Structure 1
Amino acid sequence: MPVETQSLEQQRAYTQDEAFEASVKYFKGDDLAARVWINKYALKDSNGNLYELTPDDMHKRIAKEIARIEQTYPNPLSEEDIFSLIKDFKYIVPQGSPMAGIGNPYQTASLSNCFVIGNPGDSDSYGGIMKIDQEQVQLMKRRGGVGHDLSHIRPKGSPVKNSALTSTGIVPFMERYSNSTREVAQDGRRGALMLSVSINHPDSEDFIDAKLEQGKVTGANVSVRIDDAFMEAVKNDTEYTQKYPIFSENPKYSKTIKANDVWKKIVHNAWKSAEPGILFWDTIINESVPDCYADLGYKTVSTNPCGEIPLCPYDSCRLLAINLFSYVENPFTKHAKFNFNLFKKHVAVAQRIMDDIIDLELEKIDVVLEKIKNDPETDEVKATEYNLWLNIKKKAEEGRRTGIGITAEGDMLAALGIQYGSEAGNAFSLEVHKTLCIEAYRASVYTAKDRGAFAIFDSEREKNNPFIQRIKNEDEKLYFDMLEYGRRNIALLTIAPTGTTSLMTQTSSGIEPVFMPVYKRRRKVNPNDKNIRVDFVDEVGDSWEEYVVFHHRFKQWMEVNGIDSNKKFTQEELDDLIKQSPYYKATSNDVDWLSKVSMQGAIQKWVDHSISVTINLPSDVTEDLVGELYLKAWEVGCKGVTVYRDGSRSGVLIANDEKSETPAPDALTAFPTKRPEILEADVVRFQNNKEKWIAFIGLIDEKPYEIFTGLVDDEDGILIPRWVTRGLIIKSKNEEGNTRYDFQYKNKRGYKTTIEGLSHKFNPEYWNYAKLISSTLRHGMPIDKIVDLINSLQLDSASINTWKNGVVRALKHYVEDGTAAKGHVCDSCNSENLIYQEGCLTCTDCGSSKCG
């Protein structure tokens, strides 16, 4: 019986309430999953009209489009077969952009989740650098995450043939690309950027330190490309030579460093802030199948923002996850087993569907190109964007790269009664991923038999690749079939994070263990309402109800074992429940760290791209342990690794055991009691109600110490060039002996320009409030608390309230990423689990982001 679908003309629009009610029923009462689906993936036009009532409608839309592509090839899959595999998020789950974009006529966007860009010949001219900046923005507006490498930029102080005479180095361009990312937002989704640099680059130490400067490079993830020679120098405590161009036989510049000095800085920064991440570059390149074609344009240069897809310039990838939990028969019972036969069958179909999605992506790119052609700008203005998409189309068409991964690893093991992180758990996970690899490659070979190999396939080029050799040793027949028929796709596999996807599969995320099987959430309540329980009153007097949330599969374990999940449990009863369950000692904070690194290294040998995984550490671990884990990751063959130490960025979920919320004495910033005569200062520009505003923020140790802000005004002399983002605020006396604050900056010729009397340039009413706010800054009150304080001010006039909003926007830039935003509620899903991320309030439950 065919799947029922409707033409666009027949589609009716649904209200948000209709879709929410139907979707909550679909997700069996899970209102968070329902809101995430509606906000991110349900079909809607630019006016917000909804054309899908539940995910069933979305899955019919996707199945119809994939079946249309299937009809163009021999032995096509039917629409019904495809729908049966993707419905209910049970087996095969297209991720992110494919889920939202397939069959979507209302959005001119790519189906690719991630891209890497770069310049031929690694040009470090201003033209090349600005071209990358424009390409990055153009991709982000089409919903893509972007990565690019900065190793081609000449180091600081190098001679250049322009008026500057010497190069500024890497860091200013990190800030440029980061700021461009912050400017791009689509449908509540912020741009995502990865910046990388080789440890061989003489500016790599500046790159490593850049993100520790508060308010700098807040729009990018950063990772260091580390080669084996550097790691050997670290192990042996020897010197290492950095070069520009990197690894050059005849470098223009070189310097010798103590490898361990830089290594300790990397480790310290990662311990302190979870960045930079590490990319073991020689492992990536040596294991990379696409790099067998490096001379044909497939030289890997960087990764996507989460690090799971190393890519060459202008290549892209689409993601799909297989829900491992669904292959466990009789879960959480003594009869539980993993159905490998069904799994193998579905992997083959998933790889074929991924190849179909490439054809759908090529259609989308043609639509993008046509739109660019028809845009009213001149051809000169449109040239960069148009050529960008031509390059992306060429790579997608020629290499046909896919990104099959998994989700629910943690739940799969728990359902089988195997402890995540144990020796048995690691062994079983390895068997699953080896099976996934072999069956995906087999499917790509047999698809090539029907549809043809990717355009540049050459078995001779690949014959010595370690990954291909591993496949040959595991399944010789598959290898010889690949020699005969070729392979449809240049590379196939990845393990990506599955944040919102796992909310809809209602499972653990990606390869990770369950974060917490039981946790508490807080819901803001009106204490005067009937039948309301107040469990917590915060520092500003707001009332909150706390309620227990069970992880979906933990709840399933309870039901299998006859435990009533609706019961009101005491903390002791909850602790006892967890001890009885297969999730005991198997959560993110329980898993043995070295075991997890070893597991990642073993599985990496069967993943041709990379793995996105985080090693969670308690707050009291030493920097030496972080260094030990990084070293172990290199030794066992990981391609990359990220550590997260609890507290290095503030969390948002409440642990079940009660902890004091009072900040430690050292949490307050130790500012000098007397205002220094000269302060470094940031210039922050923004708009309020279409009016242009400016803020001058005095800094000590890169932390806000005072603020001056108001309307940009030509007549009052506040208008300064847009390229000015830094300067000095100088405290001085005027002719009458009164204190004044001047702003001074250098123009492009190096001459100083001074704007006198900041305190008199703005509305006097603003100045009085600014003194109050500056006073709280100087006493070291945390920025997020000051933001809340300013927001709570009840001010009389519209103009002063507009000013208040401007101050909040300026100060939010300095709230450390990951800081919990207490007292705020997500507009999309009503969750209270909001954090500050790059100056914006970001919901950790549904992913929506709000600035302003």
Structure 2
Amino acid sequence: MQIQTQPIVKPKTYSQEDAFEASVKYFNGDDLAARVWINKYALKDSEGNLYELTPNDMHRRIAKEIARIELRYPNPLSEDAIFDLIKDFKYIVPQGSPMAGIGNPYQIASLSNCFVIGNEGNSDSYGGIMKIDQEQVQLMKRRGGVGHDLSHIRPKGSPVKNSALTSTGIVPFMERYSNSTREVAQDGRRGALMLSVSINHPDSEDFIDAKLEQGKVTGANVSVRIDDEFMKAVKTSSTYTQKYPIFSSNPKFSKTIEANKLWKKIVHNAWKSAEPGILFWDTIINESVPDCYADLGYKTVSTNPCGEIPLCPYDSCRLLAMNLFSYVENPFTDKATFNFELFKKHIHVAQRIMDDIIDLELEKIDAIIAKIDADPELKEVKATERNLWLNIKTKANEGRRTGIGITAEGDMLAALGIKYGSKEGNDFSVEVHKTLGIEAYRASVYTAKDRGAFAIFDAEREKNNPFIQRLKEADDKLYYEMLEHGRRNIALLTIAPTGTTSLMTQTSSGIEPVFMPVYKRRRKVNPNDKNVRVDFVDEVGDSWEEYVVFHHRFKQWMEVNGIATDKNYTQEELDKIVKKSPYYKATSNDVDWMSKVSMQGAVQKWVDHSISVTINLPNNATEELVGKLYLEAWEAGCKGVTVYRDGSRSGVLISNDEKKSEDDAQEMLTAFPTKRPQVLEADVVRFQNNKEKWIAFIGLIDGKPYEVFTGLADDEDGILIPRWANSGLIIKNRNEDGTSRYDFQYQNKRGYKTTIEGLSHKFNPEYWNYAKLISSTLRHGMPIDKIVDLINSLQLDSESINTWKNGVVRALKRYVEDGTQAKGQTCTNCNSTSLIYQEGCLTCKDCGSSKCG
């Protein structure tokens, strides 16, 4: 008897070109949205095969998986019902990791967007610190953003029982965790890390200053946990006592400081570089529903990288956004209304979907653990990673935390004819978020009726929580139903930054106002082609055509009002059009800052986690204003706040029409001494070219590169110094024959100086000669981004010297000032020319993709 076997049916694959063409059509001509979807969220395997043609395929994949989970419970939602709500990004939008990972058989990754880790008992031993480092890396390789707090690390100079005798303090470990983040690849994007510390920690000032040094802690966001006692001391100009352990009644170390002095440093640094962010920690803890279970392991210790999800160690959260614009009926007309009934109905479905995604995440964690078990490494090697995921599984299963939020707040208000930042706008926003908060909790109670409450639910523990009290006051029926049936999820709500999500919903981002209703982009053109308009010729001779890009909803307003969207308007004409629109004086740089802070505080009352929001200030904003905004944020009940001043170090491209004066140019060219000092401070930069290990020594004057030596680090002719030696001195000495040599000197861990003689003899002579050429341009004050362009343009025959060239570029990019435009380069993701240097990487301002190295 012959047994017939079914043929294996391979999934259909699509070319990048086919998917791009179909997706551009899907997004109505928006090539940027199409590129973002294909690169970040379309189903693909490790060989680059695409299995989805348009986002409808993705939405069907997600709907199918959620419907599979629904069948486990009473009254299941159908696949079609789910699909109808998530298709076209119209109503309910799973964000980031859920969008990429649900139903994805080609990637063993988590569906969680946010994680926080920590050591039980707040151990600050080297073993505990290294364990956190490994856990951070293991989470990032599974696509998660990670946060952890450093307040448990003993302050600098504290006695330790090892060969060092005294502790190095917090800052070296900041750099360690930052470097680990930069080493982890996440499908073309860099990992995300939040480092926090309590203002009560004696090293908090060092923490606050750590990122001011160019090239330091570039792989992490940093935020300070500020308590009410410190804020009161600031207001009354009184003293404040820092302790270790923090807030201890019997501290090992304490010191009294002037609160205002440290406060001014925080304000100055935020004004200068947009960091540190501030977390109003007492507000976070007092308002936190999970902290009602702090003794059961739910004590909040830090936040995710963008600050919107405060978490206890080993808890995680998944994100989903409601597209607020889609609930406006007759948008941009005098009949525009917000459909609250439909909104409430969809909130209930969204919360169920979020709970389903937790079940899907638990399946993913099981797959990750199975993968770890199947790996050939020794059990001791795998132990930390395995225990990490077991801890995360326990928290996800026990608390079932969700992160339902919104996007398109700015567009929603504009579509209703309400000005963002006005009293009417703030009041309406609060009403929307109050509705979302109440109905999400009601949905969690109803889900608990069918599926059971989260494992440790205890109404008695929660009864005095301010957030629960507000729910009771607003809807006592809901409160008493919660007493009877419990709640399915320990915490439910957040407002996240919806960067790439908003590109695909084609709306404003998160709770933010519209950034710009209209802007110009460039596309490279062939000047010899027919009907081509050349608006700009760059310094290398390439021709570009400028064209106007309208924000999608602004374009919709234009169409509703009979204004042509296909004309090539002058800037004056565009200004007149914008002035007639509901977006006028309502963009991120226009809104009243104090009004935005008070709006955030009022909305926060109905969000049980937190809100990711940035207060955008013009370049001429004063430090005094930043301080006032922070104080207002604390008093308004915000849980955290970030201030960004236009053009500050971490930020945005300075406008093209800003020209340096002749005096500025002359000052730039004469900034360095013409004669090389005998001794230079030096940074050590390690990197990898293909599989080769390389090392660079950057001689500095006033923190700016003055010379560079680069070569192999791991062969017979290379140079080897310990991994921890990241800085030292380059000393110019004389050989016996009168020739010069350059020695490198660093301090070992016992404090003794070690000297490596003759860098010129350690590296390939060809590298050395080119290094002298590059160093010469540095010494004459040529801007570093121009030197990078110059090196990139060198036509070199030798493969090894081209490798050297790449290494020098990577080393020098670290010193290009953040926000500097990368001219003549295009984004490999979306073809935009809006590339800026950010922390040594090229970052696209249009799609957010980042390329390092």
User: Does the alignment reach a TM-score above 0.5?
Assistant: yes
How far the C-alpha of 1:714 sits from its partner, in A, is: 4.6
Report matched runs for 1:653-692 at 5 Å. Answer: 659-662=657-660, 666=664, 668=668, 670-692=671-693
Give the direction of change, closer, same or farther, for the CA distance of 1:434–1:664 in structure 2 (3 Å limit).
Answer: farther
C-alpha contact (below 8 Å) 2:718/2:763 kept by paired residues? no
- Bigger drift between 660-669 and 28-37 goes to 660-669
Query: Letter of the aligned partner of 2:657 in structure 1?
Result: K
How far the C-alpha of 1:85 sits from its partner, in A, is: 0.3
Query: Letter of the aligned partner of 1:327 in structure 2?
Result: Y
Q: Give the equivalent residue in structure 2 for 1:221.
A: 221
Report matched runs for 1:576-591 at 5 Å. Answer: 576-591=576-591
Q: Give the equivalent residue in structure 2 for 1:605.
A: 605
Q: Give the equivalent residue in structure 2 for 1:398.
A: 398
Give the direction of change, closer, same or farther, for the CA distance of 1:689–1:454 in structure 2 (3 Å limit).
Answer: closer
Query: Letter of the aligned partner of 2:681 in structure 1?
Result: E
Structure 1 CA distance, aligned partners of 2:124 and 2:252?
A: 14
C-alpha contact (below 8 Å) 2:647/2:653 kept by paired residues? no
Q: Give the equivalent residue in structure 1 for 2:75.
A: 75
- Bigger drift between 125-134 and 763-772 goes to 763-772
How far the C-alpha of 1:187 sits from its partner, in A, is: 1.1
SS at match of 2:212: coil
What CA deviation, in whole Å up to 9, does each residue of 1:276-317 have, x standing for no partner? Answer: 000000000000000000000000000000000000000000
Q: Give the equivalent residue in structure 2 for 1:739.
A: 740
SS at match of 2:424: helix
SS at match of 1:211: helix
Q: Give the equivalent residue in structure 1 for 2:257.
A: 257
Structure 1 CA distance, aligned partners of 2:664 and 2:203?
A: 33
Q: Give the equivalent residue in structure 1 for 2:330.
A: 330
Query: Letter of the aligned partner of 1:737 in structure 2?
Result: G
Q: Give the equivalent residue in structure 1 for 2:170.
A: 170
What CA deviation, in whole Å up to 9, does each residue of 1:219-262 have, x standing for no partner? Answer: 00000000000001111111110000000000000001101111
Give the direction of change, closer, same or farther, for the CA distance of 1:666–1:278 in structure 2 (3 Å limit).
Answer: farther
C-alpha contact (below 8 Å) 2:323/2:406 kept by paired residues? yes
Q: Give the equivalent residue in structure 2 for 1:374.
A: 374
C-alpha contact (below 8 Å) 2:778/2:784 kept by paired residues? yes
Structure 2 CA distance, aligned partners of 1:149 and 1:35?
A: 36
Report matched runs for 1:673-752 at 5 Å. Answer: 673-712=674-713, 714-716=715-717, 718-752=719-753
Structure 2 CA distance, aligned partners of 1:665 and 1:808?
A: 29
Q: Give the equivalent residue in structure 2 for 1:350.
A: 350
Structure 2 CA distance, aligned partners of 1:277 and 1:666?
A: 32
Q: Give the equivalent residue in structure 1 for 2:290.
A: 290
Give the direction of change, closer, same or farther, for the CA distance of 1:648–1:293 in structure 2 (3 Å limit).
Answer: same
How far the C-alpha of 1:443 sits from its partner, in A, is: 0.3
Q: Give the equivalent residue in structure 2 for 1:93.
A: 93
Q: Give the equivalent residue in structure 1 for 2:143.
A: 143
Give the direction of change, closer, same or farther, for the CA distance of 1:466–1:713 in structure 2 (3 Å limit).
Answer: closer
Structure 2 CA distance, aligned partners of 1:163 and 1:772?
A: 43
Structure 1 CA distance, aligned partners of 2:65 and 2:431?
A: 33
How far the C-alpha of 1:40 sits from its partner, in A, is: 0.6
Q: Give the equivalent residue in structure 1 for 2:832.
A: 831
RMSD value over aligned CA atoms? Answer: 1.6
Q: Give the equivalent residue in structure 2 for 1:58.
A: 58
How far the C-alpha of 1:615 sits from its partner, in A, is: 0.4
Q: Give the equivalent residue in structure 1 for 2:4.
A: none
What CA deviation, in whole Å up to 9, does each residue of 1:127-168 have, x standing for no partner? Answer: 000000000000000000000000000000000000000000
Structure 2 CA distance, aligned partners of 1:654 and 1:167?
A: 42
Report matched runs for 1:63-462 at 5 Å. Answer: 63-462=63-462
Query: Letter of the aligned partner of 2:798 in structure 1?
Result: S
Q: TM-score scaled to structure 2, two decimals? A: 0.97
How far the C-alpha of 1:15 sits from its partner, in A, is: 0.6
SS at match of 2:35: helix
C-alpha contact (below 8 Å) 1:197/1:224 kept by paired residues? yes
How far the C-alpha of 1:717 sits from its partner, in A, is: 6.0
Structure 1 CA distance, aligned partners of 2:661 and 2:431?
A: 46
Structure 1 CA distance, aligned partners of 2:680 and 2:604?
A: 49
Query: Letter of the aligned partner of 2:141 in structure 1?
Result: K
C-alpha contact (below 8 Å) 1:777/1:783 kept by paired residues? yes
What CA deviation, in whole Å up to 9, does each residue of 1:75-107 have, x standing for no partner? Answer: 111111100000000000000000000000111
Structure 2 CA distance, aligned partners of 1:202 and 1:317?
A: 31
SS at match of 1:709: strand
How far the C-alpha of 1:572 sits from its partner, in A, is: 1.1
Query: Letter of the aligned partner of 1:607 in structure 2?
Result: V
C-alpha contact (below 8 Å) 1:717/1:755 kept by paired residues? no
The runs of 5 or more residues in structure 1 that have no matched partner are: 1-6
What CA deviation, in whole Å up to 9, does each residue of 1:408-433 have, x standing for no partner? Answer: 00000000000000010000000000
How far the C-alpha of 1:804 sits from its partner, in A, is: 1.1
- Bigger drift between 223-232 and 540-549 goes to 540-549
Q: Give the equivalent residue in structure 2 for 1:3.
A: none
- Bigger drift between 815-824 and 578-587 goes to 815-824
2:478 paired with 1:478: yes
How far the C-alpha of 1:661 sits from its partner, in A, is: 4.7
Structure 2 CA distance, aligned partners of 1:495 and 1:592?
A: 20
C-alpha contact (below 8 Å) 1:652/1:833 kept by paired residues? no
Structure 2 CA distance, aligned partners of 1:726 and 1:807?
A: 17
C-alpha contact (below 8 Å) 1:156/1:168 kept by paired residues? yes
Give the direction of change, closer, same or farther, for the CA distance of 1:756–1:531 in structure 2 (3 Å limit).
Answer: farther
Query: Letter of the aligned partner of 2:819 in structure 1?
Result: G
Give the direction of change, closer, same or farther, for the CA distance of 1:393–1:665 in structure 2 (3 Å limit).
Answer: farther
Structure 1 CA distance, aligned partners of 2:195 and 2:813?
A: 23
Give the direction of change, closer, same or farther, for the CA distance of 1:289–1:752 in structure 2 (3 Å limit).
Answer: same
Structure 1 CA distance, aligned partners of 2:471 and 2:782?
A: 58
Structure 2 CA distance, aligned partners of 1:220 and 1:741?
A: 34
How far the C-alpha of 1:596 sits from its partner, in A, is: 0.3
Q: TM-score scaled to structure 1, two decimals? A: 0.97
Report matched runs for 1:447-846 at 5 Å. Answer: 447-649=447-649, 659-662=657-660, 666=664, 668=668, 670-712=671-713, 714-716=715-717, 718-846=719-847
C-alpha contact (below 8 Å) 2:437/2:493 kept by paired residues? yes
Structure 2 CA distance, aligned partners of 1:288 and 1:230?
A: 20
SS at match of 1:784: helix
C-alpha contact (below 8 Å) 1:205/1:262 kept by paired residues? yes
SS at match of 1:548: strand
Structure 2 CA distance, aligned partners of 1:9 and 1:282?
A: 57
Structure 1 CA distance, aligned partners of 2:654 and 2:87?
A: 33
C-alpha contact (below 8 Å) 1:494/1:608 kept by paired residues? yes
Give the direction of change, closer, same or farther, for the CA distance of 1:450–1:717 in structure 2 (3 Å limit).
Answer: closer
SS at match of 1:160: coil
How far the C-alpha of 1:713 sits from its partner, in A, is: 5.5
Identity over aligned pairs, percent: 86
Give the direction of change, closer, same or farther, for the CA distance of 1:35–1:565 in structure 2 (3 Å limit).
Answer: same
How far the C-alpha of 1:541 sits from its partner, in A, is: 3.6
Structure 1 CA distance, aligned partners of 2:214 and 2:8?
A: 49
The runs of 5 or more residues in structure 2 that have no matched partner are: 1-6
Give the direction of change, closer, same or farther, for the CA distance of 1:653–1:757 in structure 2 (3 Å limit).
Answer: closer
C-alpha contact (below 8 Å) 1:649/1:819 kept by paired residues? no
C-alpha contact (below 8 Å) 1:731/1:742 kept by paired residues? yes
Q: Give the equivalent residue in structure 2 for 1:4.
A: none
Structure 2 CA distance, aligned partners of 1:641 and 1:747?
A: 40
Structure 2 CA distance, aligned partners of 1:563 and 1:51?
A: 40
Give the direction of change, closer, same or farther, for the CA distance of 1:349–1:654 in structure 2 (3 Å limit).
Answer: farther
Give the direction of change, closer, same or farther, for the CA distance of 1:651–1:822 in structure 2 (3 Å limit).
Answer: farther
Query: Letter of the aligned partner of 1:849 in structure 2?
Result: S
Query: Letter of the aligned partner of 1:468 in structure 2?
Result: I
How far the C-alpha of 1:801 sits from its partner, in A, is: 1.9
How far the C-alpha of 1:74 sits from its partner, in A, is: 0.6
Structure 1 CA distance, aligned partners of 2:399 and 2:107?
A: 25
Q: How many residues align?
A: 844
C-alpha contact (below 8 Å) 1:650/1:819 kept by paired residues? no
- Bigger drift between 634-643 and 690-699 goes to 690-699
How far the C-alpha of 1:703 sits from its partner, in A, is: 2.2
